[in-house]
Amino acid sequence: MLTAPDFNKKQVVFVLFNEGEKIALSNDNLVVRDVEGKIKMQVTCYRLFIVFAVGHCSITSALIQKAKKFGFFIALMTQGFRLYSLIGAEKDGNTILKQKQYFYEGLGIAKHIAENKIYNQRLQLKSVRYKSEYIEEAIVTMTGYLEKIPFTESLGELMAYEGLASKIYFRGHFNNVVWNGRQPRIKRDIINSTLDIGYTLLFTFIDALLSSFGFDTFCGVMHRQFYLRKSLVCDLVEPFRPLIDHTVKTAINLKQIQKDDFLLINEQYKLKWEFSSKYVKLLMMPLIEIKDELFIYIQSYYRAFMKGLPAAEFPVWHMREQ
């Protein structure tokens, strides 16, 4: 199983495929060639953890074999950054772990995750230099939710606190723009569209980490089973979402996100292909910076779950104060 020192040396690679470009193997190297056959990118399989393949490309059986042999993932994504397949280094044979997942019915871990998320959201509001009356009140309200969560007796009640906290958090966090609030996957404005891209990149990275330990990513503890939803991934992205939120807000302040970078199609803002590289770099940079912390978090979660530890001994991740 992958260790922290090994993971530290692993690379996260993005390939944005233009028409006619191909991904192939050369000895133990992954090679991307442009339409003229020139090498666009080359990286050794020994150093790979995940390849984000965005756009139309062909995957050979030989490449899949190499991915399994060297233990790296290939994330196949549409040009709109929708993940449709993750293949490669899954540890499907960890049956003991999966059995523990299927028999777990507690609420403690879900509470732990929700508290971690709300803590980080509140930290973002506390970091605002000039706080409005709304933000001051939001901080107090979210503190109240954190105090109530340990005493919740149902998943529905817990999810209600988590949802209410997010609603007031987003209104306070994006106080630098005129905004109608978070609307997942609807893309009615450039902020929601950019957040969707960032969350998808985070989701895919954590999906790969969980799969490398052998988790059934469809079996969650807070987001319970729902057809074709990777509920466990949905759970464990939660504490890290505020990192994407902070990145997007900062980019807006620096005018790195522009309305002209998007097309309005059927009342939805979709990123123009020619700006994909810019947004990938912007949104992946904070994840690359905490890459090792993400690994330690998932590794610690795995060890705690396998040992059946109390929820309080499961990992937490706190954002650095801005």
pLDDT digits (tens, 9 = 90+) for 3-34: 999 999 999 999 898 888 888 888 889 998 88
Lowest mean pLDDT among 77-91, 132-146, 250-264, 276-290: 77-91
User: 270 with 263: CB under 8 angstroms?
Assistant: yes
3-state helix vs strand vs coil in the chain, percent to 5: 55, 15, 30
Which residue has 């666009």 as its token pair? Answer: 40
Strand order from edge to edge, sheet including 83-87: 11-16, 48-54, 73-77, 83-87
Q: 265 CB contacts (<8 Å, ≥6 apart)?
A: none
Give the global pTM: 0.93
DSSP β-bridge partners for residue 75: 52, 86
Averaged pLDDT for residues 69-83: 91
Q: What is the β-pairing status of strands 73-77 and 48-54? A: parallel
In 3D, which of 73, 94, 72, 296 has the Cα closest to residue 214? 94
Distance CA 194, CA 266 (A): 17
Please report the pLDDT score of residue 179 as a whole number: 79
DSSP β-bridge partners for residue 25: 30
In 3D, which of 222, 242, 103 has the Cα closest to residue 152? 222
